[in-house]
Amino acid sequence: MPDESKPPAEKPASDAPAQDQLKREIKDEIKGELSEALKPDGGAKKEGGAAPKQEGDGKKDAAKPKKKSPTQEKIVRVIKSRPFLIGAGIVGVILLIVVWRHASTHESTDDAYTTGHIHNIAARVNDTVLEVLVDDNQRVQAGQVLVRLDPADYEVQVAQAQANYEKAKDDFNRIEPLKGDEAISQQDFDSAKAALAVAEAQLRNAKNQLDYCTIVSPAAGRVGRKQVEAGNRVTIGGALMAVVDDAWVVANFKETQLAKIEIGQPVKIKIDAVPDKVFEGWVDSFAPGSGSTFALLPPDNATGNFTKIVQRVPVKIVFDPDSIRGYEDRVVAGLSCEPSIDVGTRADRRKLPRTGAPNHGAESPTPAP
């Protein structure tokens, strides 16, 4: 008969972990089956085998990186290669040196424009326009007739002045011999002489008025802003047209850029209206004051708080005649441009303006040292 007081034999300790592992596997399997059953396409997946492809699956497939072609893989290998990286670094350093060298030897600005001599043509007498001999944008020469006014009234004035002059001259010629014989007084002689001078002046003025009926061009250039037609009544000082000649650049450089700029240094000029051409020229002169000096309301820094503002000084740049040849009709006043002055080049002394002479870009003889 077995001894009931003896305790039952214990199970080996090694079976406990195996049971726990088995329980976990069973739980995971049950959870997986429940989750598949709860999915909307779970039944279809079980019945039809493979589940239909969802819209999200296409996005996942699109997000996957595509396999590169052999050419692309070769390009990537070349780019990542050490010789290529070294060569790219050398090229980058060379470019930086070139850019730095150009920036250190050139001064440029985009605050620049072209300008020229604008001769406003106005009438000097009150009259009616008889004939207009030029048209808009037409090129004219110095002394060429632009407008003719009706001369009839002024021809009459010349005839009257001529008659008065002849009468005064005859009176003076009759009185002059009598002065020596003391037949007339000195006062009468002086009066006759003065009358002759007045008549002569009136005749000269009448002829001038008649000449003013023919309006000529003061310089060679092109006609612009024409606002006169035959039959118009014009008054003294009334603008009829303008004649524009010559062209140069006014560049407003900052005062901090002027240290290396000298008269005669070469300039490369890019004009927005002529993008296919880089013009050449040289520095002609500096303005006698900054732009604010000639402003309508110049600043007064002697009162109130002071804030330093970098000023700009107009610099006149003239075109090289050979560079602008063929583009005279396209380079007109008022165009935006971008000059670049080569401050690393010594100024050409032959292009310095003559002292006391107007600056029109003409070359002058080499000054004495």
Q: Which of 58-67, 78-87, 228-237 has the lowest mean pLDDT?
A: 58-67
Co-location of 261 and 187 in the same domain: no
Co-location of 203 and 275 in the same domain: no
Helix 186-211, helix 152-180: angle, nearest 10: 160
Co-location of 344 and 272 in the same domain: yes
Q: What is the pLDDT of residue 154?
A: 95
CA 193, CA 174: separation in Å to the nearest integer? 11
Co-location of 207 and 278 in the same domain: no
Note the pLDDT tens digit of each residue in 192-231: 899 999 999 999 999 999 999 999 999 999 999 999 999 9
- Domain membership of residue 34 (yes or no) is no
Residue where one domain finishes, among candidates 212, 227, 262: 212
CB 196 within 8 A of CB 169: yes
- Domain membership of residue 7 (yes or no) is no
Co-location of 200 and 257 in the same domain: no
Cα dihedral sign, 341-342-343-349 = negative
CB 46 within 8 A of CB 52: no
Q: What is the CATH number of the domain that holds 200?
A: 1.10.287.470
Q: What is the pLDDT of residue 18?
A: 67
Residue 169: band (very low, low, confident or very high) from pLDDT cuts 50, 70, 90: very high
- Domain membership of residue 84 (yes or no) is no
For the ranges 38-42, 160-164, 296-300, the maximum mean pLDDT occurs at 160-164
- Domain membership of residue 51 (yes or no) is no
- Domain membership of residue 202 (yes or no) is yes
**DSSP state for residue 354 in the 8-state scheme:** P
- Number of domains forming the structure of the chain: 2
Co-location of 178 and 273 in the same domain: no
Q: What is the CATH number of the domain that holds 291?
A: 2.40.30.170
Q: Is the pLDDT of residue 81 over 90?
A: no
- Domain membership of residue 270 (yes or no) is yes
Co-location of 196 and 255 in the same domain: no
280: containing domain = 108-116+246-296+306-351
Q: What is the pLDDT of residue 67?
A: 67
CA 117, CA 207: separation in Å to the nearest integer? 30
Q: Which two tokens stand for residue 190?
A: 């002086």
- Domain membership of residue 13 (yes or no) is no
